[in-house]
Amino acid sequence: MSLLKHLYVYILKCSDKTYYTGVTNNPERRIEEHNSGINKHSYTFSRRPVEMVYSERFTDFDLAIKWEKRIKDWNRKKKEALINNNWDQLKIVAECRNETSHKNHESKPTQVLSASGGSN
């Protein structure tokens, strides 16, 4: 059994306006570590100071890691919607809009029928 009772997934806003996502069991200590520049090879080292703009507590370790990885794959607009608790905006920016999206293909059969003079 793990000694960890909870983990936090967090997002930092860096001095260059980029975002860094991580996971920790102690957010206060972790932000101090980022700002003190303990690891000169870390993403945040040359982007200090950093500010914690989001954190969420998890009791399930695996779920916390999955959430961290998911957020890391998100674009800036999705991260900002999450940071701002703007769920409506998050839904909008999360919607798939590329060429292969099923939404781009749903209307084509109707258009084809209409163009060919298909019967009702």
The tens digit of pLDDT for each residue in 41-64 reads 999 999 999 999 999 999 999 999
Question: Does any domain span residue 120?
Answer: no
pLDDT digits (tens, 9 = 90+) for 10-40: 999 999 999 999 999 999 999 999 999 999 9
CATH label of the domain that carries residue 99: 3.40.1440
CA angle 30, 7, 23 (to 5 degrees): 50
Collapsed DSSP state (helix, strand, coil) of residue 12: strand
Question: Does any domain span residue 2?
Answer: no
Name the more confident of 71 and 103.
Answer: 71
Question: Does any domain span residue 51?
Answer: yes
Q: Are 11 and 49 in contact (CB under 8 A)?
A: no
| Domains: count for the chain | 1
The parent domain of residue 109 ranges over: 7-115
